[in-house]
Every structure is written in C-alpha cells, then in structure tokens.
Amino acid sequence: MKIYLDGKFVDPADAKISVFDHGLLYGDGVFEGIRLYGGNVFRLEEHLERLEYSAKAIMLDLPLTRKEFSDITCETCRQNGLTDGYIRLVVTRGVGDLGLAPWSCAKPSVFVIASKITLYPKEHYDNGLAIVTVPTRRINPAALPPAVKSLNYLNNILAKIEAKQSGALEAIMLNDQGFVAECTADNIFIVHKGELITPSSSQGALKGITRDTVFAIAKELNIPVREANMTRYDIWTADECFITGSAAEVVPVVKLDGRVIGSGKPGHSTLQILESFRRRVLVEGTKI
C-alpha cells in the first residue's frame, strides 16, 4: 500500500505527520471521502470544489491547484492497483505552535489514502437498516457551518457511540430546535405520498455529494423533491426512508426507534434511486 504525503508516495509505516500539526492538535483542517468505481473516481470535481469551499470557509490556503489534487488522487489509486475503493483526501493546517493561532502554521500538509471500505453488511442494502435517534444534538450552524467538512468529527463520534450503545449501526441527530439534521455520517431522505423530502443544510445537514446525486436522480425519475424541516414523527410515518453518503452509498432504512417505516422493507422509490445511483457511479466522474 502506498500513501501520498506532501509530494511523495510512502509506505504506511512512513506516512507520518508531526505531533505539532494543528490537524492533530485541534482538528484544524478539511477532508473529502471519495469513492472509486470501476476505475472511475465518482464526482471528483464536485468533491474538490467542496474541499475548496471548506478550506476557504476556515481561511486555509490550499497548497495545490484543483488539477494537482485531481492528478494526485488518481495516481494514488493507480499506485495501489485499485479499480474500486475509498479515497480519503486530507488537508491539515500544518505544523505550528501549541496555541490555537492558525497563523503559526507555515504550510498545510496534504495526504491521500486509497483503500477498500465496507461500511454496512450487504444484508442491510437488501433488507434495510434499523436506526435510532440519539441524545447528542448536531452542532448549531451558527457555531460551525455544516457545509464545512472539517477534521473535527467529535460531535458525530459521540452520536455514533450512543448508536452502538443502543445496538444500532447508524443514528439520527437532531438540531437544537428538535428538527432532524442528519445521521452521524450520512444524509437522510424520506418518501411521503410520492414526494422525496430531506432536511436542509440550514438545519445542520452536510451538503453531501451523494445527496446532490439523489436530487439529480429524482429529477430524472420525475419524483418531486424538496428540503424541509423534519421531525422524528415525519420519519415514523413516512412511506419509505433511506440514508446517503459517499461511504454508505444509498441504504434503505426500515425502522426508526423501534417503529417500522412503511412496509418494513426497502420501498419502490428507494430501489429505483439505488439502481440509478449504481449506474451513475461508473460514468460520472474522472477516469484514473
């Protein structure tokens, strides 16, 4: 296995960053989780655009151009002989003083990992996932904009711990108003009376790349889609539910908080969207 680190491809044992790197010390940095399907880096340009926006939001000057990031991402896949897999592209603030001040960091650090990932067992894609609502609330957008995909995921990790304690693989996080924000690592959708509904980014949801893909698929399938304030009640009484994410892809959800959603099986619209998604991942993006 080879990892790209600041201009070189190195073995995992040599892929080291300083203990003074502010990405480690303070979660000061940004990242993207990207998928590779059949030699196609799915929606790479969209991922790199989001990386640029996240970096701009936290005033982190990216050390490479979009073309350079694209070339490095593809080369990392080639170095590892991958045609299918998961890519983690990370930009840290870099080495600095022990204080918070980001201006003490002279140069950002970049690393890219390309490997395999299996987030959920296949049975959950076929039969659906049972999830729960956890007590940990999503950080208020006024405190940290959810559109910033930063290295600090402690909020989500606390929710993930609570999900595991409840015997679930994934969980819904509410915002401070009690509306559904997102899951610990995924966006969430419901189907209600033929309409596709998802929380807006203003409620604490990440502007997911897979989420955007589902919007495009819904338009293709003539399924009305809108963003709205959602409560747990809306999910309990929905006809269908599914979650989306680069790592998760599209996963049907058939139960929330012990309540069966719809028929208790993956719904027709969910399966249509999943089928279309699996076609798109092979052609929408950048060939390595």
pLDDT band, very low/low/confident/very high, at 42 (cuts 50, 70, 90) = very high
Domain boundary among 95, 115, 135: 115
Mean pLDDT of 104-119: 94
Q: 239 and 110 in one domain? A: no
Phi, psi of 272 (to 5 degrees): -60, -45
What pLDDT was estimated at residue 31? 98
Number of structural domains in the chain: 2
CATH of the domain at 75: 3.30.470.10
- Look up the domain containing 26 and give its range: 3-115
> Do 183 and 89 sit in the same domain of this protein?
no
Domain C-terminal end among 115, 145, 179: 115
Which is more confident, 219 or 117?
219
Exactly one of 16, 67, 149, 219 is catalytic; name it: 149
pLDDT of residue 30: 98
d(CA 171, CA 248): 13
Q: Is residue 118's pLDDT more than 90?
A: no
Angle at 95 between CA 94 and CA 98, to 5 degrees: 120
Which of 56, 90, 115 is a domain's end point? Answer: 115
Asked if residue 126 and residue 109 are part of one domain, the reply reads no
Which DSSP category does 98 fall into? S
Give the span between the Cα atoms of 110 and 51, in whole angstroms: 12
Q: Which tokens sit at 137?
A: 């609330």
Active site residue 149: yes
pLDDT over 90 (residue 112): yes
Yes or no: say if 37 and 86 are a contact pair by the CB < 8 Å rule. no
Q: What is the mean pLDDT of residues 153-167?
A: 97
Same domain, 126 and 265: yes
Report the pLDDT averaged over residues 129-147: 95
131 and 222 belong to one structural domain: yes
Average pLDDT over residues 263-275: 96
